Amino acid sequence: MDVDGTLLTEDGAVPGAAAVVTALRRRGIPFRIVTNITRRSRQSVVDRLGAHGIEVQTDEIYTAVYAAVAWLRNRAIRRVAPFVTQDVVQDLQEFDLIGGTATPSVRQSTPDAVLIGDLGDHWSHGLLNEAFRYVMDGAELVALQRGRYWLGPTGLELDAGAYVAALEYATGHNAVVCGKPNAEFFDAAVASLADADYPTIRRSDDFSIGPIAMVGDDVWSDIQGAQQAGLEGWLVRTGKFREDVLAASGVTPDGVLDSVASLC
């Protein structure tokens, strides 16, 4: 399940969302919270959900930041230029942080990777140009996600994908995308269920729990991404859902729900 627009909106929890999580636990149905949130650490996501009565554990949360850390670690990348919020910077402390939004912002050397997230109103020409120069000097361009837009406090807002696209255009380099719709991101979340304590799961060397659905409000990242990863994609009519966008997208969800509450 997605978070923003699916379990929560700017007005609080989607009605029935907390009951859905409780019902899934009671029925022994495994789940993961799979989100492209790039302004919050995993613990902040847990705290935010909990503040709205949705009780989850840190290991039940899969964020684009978590996926990026694993990607960087697996490739032995040490020097990283973060373009993320200060909350997320705390999840990157195992790396040598150079420039960007790191505190203090050290620029004496060129990073091995540029990490792009959603900075919202904190984006500036200076920051975008700094990221551009690092990539031109040989740094890997790594995107936490490339969402087009999300539903913010005052309406639809540009997401990180707009800035990722700008850097790709200017540098001629394609970004590595760590979050949704990357199939590896979905695969990692599904694989984590093998270690979950759910009585309905039968473990074997060929781990399988049967059909899996991604529930979210984003036609591309949630639905199309899940389908391309071999999962079902169930679209909710909450959050940023728009009938005209769905009709023009060319994406056919496996299911369309009024809200996540329809799962109960």
pLDDT digits (tens, 9 = 90+) for 112-158: 999 999 888 899 999 999 999 999 999 999 999 888 888 778 888 88
CA torsion angle 129 74 177 255 (round to 10): -160
Which CATH number is 8-62+181-263's, of 3.40.50.1000, 3.40.50.150, 1.10.110.30, 3.30.470.20? 3.40.50.1000
> What's the mean pLDDT in 36-46?
85
pLDDT at 156: 87
User: Can you give the pLDDT at residue 200?
Assistant: 47
| The pLDDT of residue 91 is above 60 | yes
* CB-based contact 215:4 (threshold 8 Å): no
pLDDT band at 201 (very low <50, low <70, confident <90, very high): very low
**Tokens linked to 8:** 């929560």
Collect all residues with Cβ–Cβ distance below 8 Å to 98 and sequence separation of at least 6. Answer: 79, 80, 81, 106, 107, 108, 109, 110, 111
Q: Residue 103: pLDDT band by 50, 70, 90 thresholds?
A: confident
66-177: CATH class: alpha beta
What is the reported pLDDT for 43? Answer: 87
What residue ranges of the chain are covered by domains with CATH 3.40.50.1000?
8-62+181-263, 66-177
Contact 69, 97 (CB under 8 A): no
Q: What percent of the chain has pLDDT over 90?
A: 64
**Close Cβ partners of 251 (under 8 Å, ≥ 6 residues apart):** 219, 220, 223, 224, 227, 233
Q: What is the mean pLDDT of residues 222-235?
A: 95
pLDDT bin (cut points 50, 70, 90) of residue 208 is low
Residue 256 pLDDT > 60, yes or no? yes
> CB-hemisphere CA count at 13 Å for 256?
10
CA separation for the pair 182, 220 (Å, rounded): 11
| Element (DSSP H or E) covering residue 165 | helix 160-171
- Measure the CA–CA gap between 114 and 93, rounded to whole angstroms: 15
pLDDT of residue 78: 94
Cα–chain center distance at 167: 20
Q: Is the pLDDT of residue 17 over 70?
A: yes
